[in-house]
Amino acid sequence: MKDVFIINPNSGKKEQYRLIQQIKENFQGRRIIIEKTKGEGHAQFIAQKYALKTEEDVHIFVCGGDGTLHEVVNGMAGCEHISLSILPVGTGNDFIKSFSGLTREDFLDLSNYDKGQEVDCDLLKVNGEYVLNTASIGFDVNVAVYANKYKKYIPAGGIIPYYMGMWASLRRPLGKEYRLQIDDRRLPETKYTFLVFSNGRFYGGGYQPCPDALINDGILDVCLIKDVKRTQIVSMAKLYEKGEHVDYPDLAEMYQAQTVHVDTNNEEVIMNLDGEIRTMKNPTIEIEPSMIRLILPRTKMSSLE
């Protein structure tokens, strides 16, 4: 077994320094490899390198934000000899919020990974690209595009860039018509403000589109927000942050499925995949059960419920 730390050098400078000190304290006598990413796509390349070497077990620690984590997952998905731990030193880090019994500090403490808790984790697959947390189309993608810009100027991160992105997005058309196929059920063409497909519970700095989503239940959770007026956005956002929008069927349609196809009439749409922006036509979203093995901190029994 070897421990590989994939570090995004642009994330959390102070926490990276603390991480190096922790490695020295907690991993003495073990086989340690530190890999620093050099740009977009490099974390996936690094993960693929270890995915190809099947003769030895590997424990990968991802040290960065949601973008670095997304790349690593796409490099190692389906590899039985690789386990994954998350050291959230980036500004997003929405995925770890799905574990209600654990704090961010629990994840950052390397002493907690000695005999850590192993959990199988599902993935979404969107036109061939794996997604660990959420995929989405519509208004919230516009929010994500703006939020990514604002994050450059707000190093503290959190939900503030997303609120700023929301206000900027209100200047654009809010709704668009889509036809969806959810497993065997074909929905009529309907105007939606946005569509969210979830494996994890949280995204966008703390919102809960699918509050019942579990990362290991083999189910794709779907939230379809209907045509929302600009005057409703603020009140809807408050409900959405708490996951209470599910109590308003005139606002949100909720489904669980194995496969969803979105008919965009062959027009390109912008999608958010774990915070990464992609342009696609007629995307198909599928659930892929137990594609990665997570090792969680052991200080508390984390909850997936």
Could you read off the pLDDT of 216-262 as tens digits, one per residue?
Answer: 999 999 999 998 887 887 788 899 999 999 999 999 999 999 999 99
Could you read off the pLDDT of 148-202 as tens digits, one per residue?
Answer: 777 767 655 566 777 777 677 666 767 889 999 999 999 999 999 999 999 999 9
Burial 65-89 (b: 16+ CB within 10 A, else e): bbbbbbbbbbbbbebeebbbbbbbb
Residues 23 and 96 in one domain: yes
Residues 101 and 143 in one domain: no
Amino acid at residue number 42: H
Q: Which residue has the higher pLDDT, 163 or 7?
A: 7
- Cβ 235 vs Cβ 258: under 8 Å: no
**Quick one: pLDDT at residue 155?**
59
Domain with residue 225: its CATH number is: 2.60.200.40
Residues 42 and 189 in one domain: no
**Quick one: pLDDT at residue 279?**
94
Q: Strand 32-36 to strand 2-7: parallel, antiparallel, or no bridges (unpaired)?
A: parallel
Residues 229 and 245 in one domain: yes
Domain with residue 21: its CATH number is: 3.40.50.10330
Maximal C-alpha separation, the chain: 61
> What is the rounded CA–CA span in Å between residue 212 and residue 198?
10
Residues 120 and 163 in one domain: no
User: Residue 170: inside a domain, yes or no?
Assistant: yes
Residues 158 and 272 in one domain: yes
Q: Which domain holds residue 6?
A: 2-124+290-296
Could you read off the pLDDT of 20-38 as tens digits, one per residue?
Answer: 889 988 888 899 999 999 9
Residue count of the chain, please give it.
Answer: 305
User: Residue 301: inside a domain, yes or no?
Assistant: no
User: Residue 143: inside a domain, yes or no?
Assistant: yes
User: Residue 226: inside a domain, yes or no?
Assistant: yes
- Domains of the chain: total: 2
Reported pTM: 0.89
Residues 119 and 160 in one domain: no
Residues 90 and 115 in one domain: yes
